[in-house]
């Protein structure tokens, strides 16, 4: 069985599925659910070496702000 390609492609799963998939909620308004990330380790330009990225999940509009690595997410 180990050398049989047909068997390797056709074998069934023996483990049970964990649970049904849950659909994510769709935001009703823009700028309610955000994605925030930092891009760091960039070359120093006008005393800024990082970019703060804020993206809206509904409209996919993103804002990019030049900042420093010392900036906290708070």
pLDDT digits (tens, 9 = 90+) for 17-74: 778 888 888 888 999 889 999 999 999 999 999 999 999 988 999 999 999 998 876 7
H-helix or E-strand containing 16? Answer: none
Q: Can you say whether residue 7 is alpha, beta or left, with left for phi > 0 and alpha for psi between -120 and 50 degrees?
A: alpha
Q: What is the pTM of this model?
A: 0.61
* Contact assessment for residue 63 and residue 56, using Cβ atoms and an 8 Å cutoff: no
Top pLDDT among 71 and 9 is at 71
């Amino acid at each position: 069985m180990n050398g049989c390609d047909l068997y390797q492609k056709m074998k069934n799963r023996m483990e049970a599925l964990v649970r049904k998939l849950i659909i994510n909620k769709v935001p009703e308004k823009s700028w309610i659910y955000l994605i925030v990330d930092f891009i760091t380790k960039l070359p120093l330009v006008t005393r800024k070496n990082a970019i703060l990225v804020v993206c809206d999940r509904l409209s996919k509009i993103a804002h990019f702000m030049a900042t420093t690595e010392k900036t906290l997410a708070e």
